[in-house]
Structure 1
Amino acid sequence: QVKAAMVTCGGLCPGLNSIIRGVTHSLYYDYGVVTPGHIIGATGGYNGLSEPDEHEMINLTPDYVREIHMKGGSILKAGRGGFDAPKICEGLKKMGINMVFVIGGDGTQFAGHLLYEEAKKQKLPVSIVGVPKSIDNDVLFIDRTFGFDSAVESAATVIRNAWVEASSCEKACSVVKLMGRDAGFVAAHAALASNIVDVVLVPEVKFELEDVYKQVDLKIKHKNFAVVVVAEGAGQEYVSTGAKDATGHTVYGDIGVFMRDAINKHLKPQGGRAFYIDPSYIIRSVPITSTDHIYCSRLAHDAVHTAMRGYTGVCVGAIHNVICMFKSKLIASGKKKLKVRGSTWQSCVQSCQMPASLSGAKTAASA
């Protein structure tokens, strides 16, 4: 008899509730898992599985999840840390759980692989299936991560607000910082979606401040304002902290504030100024768009089908728009990057009319 649990790990992302709803519905309606308490949500990420007595376990039913896709966030309270494979396996055995759906990023999915290895070692009959999550869209192999389109739509709206601020002031430049630690997908796609950006700075392309100043000056001379979008991982050579967080990840400096201050200093002698908007936590907490919700439903249902067929230690994701399975450990083998010579970035460069010095063309040519 099936008894399934699911967890949402890491930071928030649009679509988490849609995945929870989709998994619940598929288990209940497609496979008849209707016994009360046989579809549960562990709260607080892996903490809820490692310390089930200290974290609420939510009994998930179609009634409970009926409207959760209408709001952002996660009803299971996404959390970081707390992973202890032997302890989790002991808890799964005690609770009689034989399916675990892991919703999270590369670190979460690699932990899911370690959980699979531990369960295999203990000969525990449990199916562990992951649904990769990343608002930055930097997960290897798959076409796109769920929630990415919703984040881009929200970011494009913020960029339009920044455009209003800049265009309503003499010689002004609005700077918008968007998510993207290691990849510039959100920044590039949001710039393309808004179609009113003059400079886009992404982690994949190094830049000189003088080149940014020249482009801003050119746009202000032409139309009296400019809009700059910067991904959080861009230009870290200017703001490097040299520090690591508790999980071993590099603590990034605030490139958004740096660019705001640098451009403001540059424009002040000309009688201009800079505005600054950082919507990072806004775009990750918005309700999901219709297109993204459909994608989440596909992922959720195929995750359940995968588990029901007895697969374990795998993730599901779209490759050429076909939902496929692949080993969870592959997710942690690297990060997907924005291709400097690819059509997305080149379309962004053309849309913004950026010079070669800001497009990465020189770097690509020398590579």
Structure 2
Amino acid sequence: MNKECALETGIHTLGPCKLDSHLPYRTWADDKSIQIFVDEELTEDAGQPFSVCLEAAGPRRKLYFDTTRAKCAIVTCGGLCPGINDVIRAIVMEAFHAYNVPSILGIPYGLEGFIPKYGHALQELTPKGVADIHRFGGTMLGSSRGPQSAEEIVDTLERSNVNALFVIGGDGTMKAARAISNEVHARRLKISVIGIPKTIDNDINFIPQSFGFETAVFKATEAIECAHTEACGVPNGIGLVKLMGRESGFIAARAALALKEVNFVLIPEAPFSLEGEGGLLPALEERLKSRGHAVIVAAEGAGQHLLAEQSGTDASGNPVLGDISELLRTFINTYLDARGMAHSIKYIDPSYIIRSVPANANDKVYCGFLGQYAVHAAMAGRTDMVVGKIQDRYVHLPLELVTRKRRKLNIYSDLWRAVLESTGQGMLKGMLPPI
């Protein structure tokens, strides 16, 4: 079986669409498919690109729901990300103004909001109530981490007479959305489950760029610029910046390319050595001898092979990570002190800053499209899917596809090659992909 055949891209529906849409459009997305090329930016190997067809996002001539009697619900889960409020606003405005949906519920504090024992009251969302929320970071609904019972969640949806659920969250949340969709299907309920992928790490499978990522990269460059300024201000100054990226180094890579002062980028996908030929420490020593300062950007998940194995998981079920910044500071200090090199390390961790700010203009536009297309999909009875943007086209993707694995930075890609050329760190062991 070839790769193209292995990708199931069909979208589930609740049933035939029999109601005419009242939207005044001349062009529709009905039966349109979009062919995309799956290249190294969407995969993790150096294999040949192949093409797949995906269902186009957009309004349909025929609808499944009588929208004037429909009820929608929105839930936001996991960590914060720029643009969540923009997506909430877009969903509410589109459902209310375009489809005349009379009731839109906000689920407070993530999946906890569905569970009666937590005592969170559901909110009624209105255009007036969400009119200004896009000006602020975070999520007006609040959030939480960790799994909850799909059975209890669907119980609440059924009690509340919800017809469409919009789930905004990352990899774990999309898995939860799939579990909810499966439970809905098992009960033979007519509830549409639509995911809007959100991840600051940009690690949702098959989604080239998540909303908020561009904003996060921009804010990360501000921290890197400060680290560079600090490093230049003292003899043998070293600016060390730790950025978010548990398993994927996209923020670190993009931020380094945006601000060319970075000399070393450390990501989870490229294991590196500290000492010996091709080690980070000898390379750092040479950099300091030649230029008198250096900037290191490390994704939080980098260098885990060098750290003692951690036990346990966090609330989202992710393995607890060791602290790469502490390891680097310890080994750099020990290494340079042993060689009599006076130096100063300036450490900056902007993690919560880059994720809690409002979205920039481009991300706001992106979020608006995602919210609108999510509503179009739900009203046409699509379910068990996410809305995404691939190669500048908005498409429907099955939840099964985006939850297969986490997306990682492909070290065979042009992106990583550009990082190596920008930093000059290609001589480090582990930075170049195997031949």
The bucket for the TM-score relative to the shorter chain is: over 0.9
1:162 maps to a residue whose letter is: A
Partner of residue 331, structure 1: 402
Q: Deviations over 1:83-117 (max 9, x none)?
A: 21221222112111111000011111111111111
SS, match of residue 325 in structure 1? strand
Are 2:187 and 1:122 aligned?
yes
Partner of residue 294, structure 2: 226
Q: Deviations over 1:100-141 (max 9, x none)?
A: 000011111111111111111112111110001111111111
Measured in 2, the distance between the counterparts of 1:163 and 1:14 equals: 25
Partner of residue 112, structure 2: 47
Measured in 2, the distance between the counterparts of 1:47 and 1:6 equals: 13
Measured in 1, the distance between the counterparts of 2:317 and 2:160 equals: 32
Q: Deviations over 1:196-232 (max 9, x none)?
A: 1000001111111122122222222222110000011
Task: Tell me by how many angstroms 1:19 deviates.
Answer: 0.7
Q: Is 1:14–1:150's contact at 8 Å kept on the other side of the alignment?
A: yes
Call closer, same or farther: CA 1:290–1:52 in 2, change over 3 Å.
farther
Q: 1:285 aligns with which of 338, 344, 356?
A: 356
Structure 1 stretch displaced more, 276-285 or 255-264: 255-264
1:254 maps to a residue whose letter is: D
Q: Is 1:340–1:364's contact at 8 Å kept on the other side of the alignment?
A: no
2:143 maps to a residue whose letter is: A
1:310 maps to a residue whose letter is: G
Q: Is 1:10–1:104's contact at 8 Å kept on the other side of the alignment?
A: yes
2:331 maps to a residue whose letter is: A
Partner of residue 254, structure 1: 323
Q: Deviations over 1:301-329 (max 9, x none)?
A: 10000001101111111111211112112
Are 2:222 and 1:138 aligned?
no
Task: Tell me by how many angstroms 1:277 deviates.
Answer: 0.8
Partner of residue 40, structure 2: none
Percent identity reads: 39
Are 2:218 and 1:153 aligned?
yes
Query: Any residues of structure 2 matched to 1:308-327 within 5 Å, and which?
Result: 308-327=379-398
Partner of residue 186, structure 1: 251
Task: Tell me by how many angstroms 1:235 deviates.
Answer: 0.5
Measured in 2, the distance between the counterparts of 1:186 and 1:180 equals: 7
Partner of residue 239, structure 1: 307
Task: Tell me by how many angstroms 1:23 deviates.
Answer: 0.5
Stretches of 4+ aligned residues off by more than 6 angstroms: none
RMSD over aligned Cα, in angstroms? 1.5
Of Structure 1 and Structure 2, the greater helix share is in 1
| Count of residues paired in the alignment | 361
Measured in 1, the distance between the counterparts of 2:321 and 2:72 equals: 38
| Residue segments in structure 1 that go unaligned for 5+ positions in a row | none
Q: Is 2:172–2:316's contact at 8 Å kept on the other side of the alignment?
A: no
Q: Is 2:309–2:322's contact at 8 Å kept on the other side of the alignment?
A: yes
Task: Tell me by how many angstroms 1:247 deviates.
Answer: 4.7
Query: Any residues of structure 2 matched to 1:11-160 within 5 Å, and which?
Result: 11-33=79-101, 35=102, 38-51=103-116, 54-160=119-225
Are 2:286 and 1:215 aligned?
no
Measured in 2, the distance between the counterparts of 1:116 and 1:240 equals: 39
Measured in 2, the distance between the counterparts of 1:13 and 1:193 equals: 20
| Residue segments in structure 2 that go unaligned for 5+ positions in a row | 1-68
Call closer, same or farther: CA 1:358–1:274 in 2, change over 3 Å.
farther
2:271 maps to a residue whose letter is: K
Q: Is 1:140–1:336's contact at 8 Å kept on the other side of the alignment?
A: yes
Measured in 2, the distance between the counterparts of 1:358 and 1:201 equals: 12
Q: 1:267 aligns with which of 336, 340, 352?
A: 336
Q: Is 1:72–1:287's contact at 8 Å kept on the other side of the alignment?
A: yes
